[in-house]
Amino acid sequence: MAGAPVLGPVSETAEAPAPSNPTRRKRTAAIGSLVALGLAASAVFGVQTALGGTATAARAIAAPASDPAVVFGGRGGYGWGPGTLPGSGSTGSSTVAAATEATADQLVGVVDVTTVLGYENGEAAGTGMVLTSDGEVLTNNHVVEGATSITVTVLSTGVSYEATVVGTDPTDDVAVLQLSDASGLDTVQADDDAVAVGDAVTAVGNAGGAAGTSAAAGTVTALDQSITATDESGQDAEQLTGLIEIAADVEAGDSGGPLYDAEGEVVGMDTAASSTGGQAYAIPIATALSIAEQITSGVDDETVHQGYPAFLGVSVQSGATGGAAVAGVVAGGPADQAGLTAGDVVTAVGGSTVTAAEDVSAALAGLDPGDEVTVTWTDATGRSQTATVTLATGPAD
């Protein structure tokens, strides 16, 4: 709208220091239960979880009765023990071998991934695999989700690099990172031949983060497994399909790490595990590499997103009359600079009418950092306000 202020992008720097010990990223399984732990009640656009404090978001996984139910650990909310998961149990073996320290050969091409969650005042960590000598890294999307900065450490050398997100596929839980100024790196060796039930495998990753990288030996117990994810409200269902199920002692932090076959070649990417231990899931490496190739080709589609998302910095909730209620704003972000405050009701974004929180997401979905968009809202006095904002660069999605 003419005369509305044009606002510039904001810094991605965290407003408060992150905890010194990063939370280890993992997806945990609560067999036969539907559990949601600490998920923000509001939908958040331009920032990934509820505002303030250390993030503890999670997603519950609702599966058919014959399939396991898996809890997606959210940013800062990984590694819960079985006592925290009501009704949890495991169909996995309770006699799997305990994880041991990974060998030098198993560390080739493997990296630790540590993320700063600047808008959430926290850190998280997981694992990744080097795909190219100049620093292209494969990991799970949930390892980097919400990150405002990423540091990757090559385990075989101990050298650390800053990393950026090349692109993500949140639906299939795959992300590709690029290390800054990297060269001559050793890469993992992938075997895209299909595994079979009964095959011996070893899951390697940054388990727990306290005693180095672990190797969890196990066996393939099932193939082509599907898990459906929902938030605690039962909305935003997501499904991971075609997973390899294994019996192995996979722990928090292993996400994004390699699943090796008996020949030491990568056959999968560690992705989920049971809360009680002994049962885990991996994305077949052929599937993960196919998605990574699409990401690096620069082609967006309904699931693949390039780079970082546009950032409005507002948390909204459905249920308000005539729009989406503002639950909170990020200090210094575009929404804050425009004058939105908690309790306002967003009625339009980019000329599209907003009647629910999902409409805000839809309006921002096709926009990039640096794009200008008009936002219309009703303030606490009932007055309609409109401003044009410049979307900032948001955390990884």
Active-site residue set: 142, 173, 255
Rounded to 5°, angle at Cα 306 from 187 and 161: 40
Long-range Cβ contact pairs of 377-383 (< 8 A, separation 24 or more):
377/323, 377/326, 377/340, 377/344, 377/345, 377/346, 377/347, 378/322, 378/323, 378/344, 378/345, 378/347, 379/341, 379/344, 380/341, 380/343, 380/344
Q: Are 102 and 214 in contact (CB under 8 A)?
A: yes
Residue in the structure block whose two tokens are 């928090």: 252
Q: For the residues of 95-108, what is the DSSP string, one character each?
A: -PPPPEEPPHHHHT
Rounded-to-integer distance, Cα 64 and Cα 287, Å = 23
**The one-letter amino acid at 384:** S
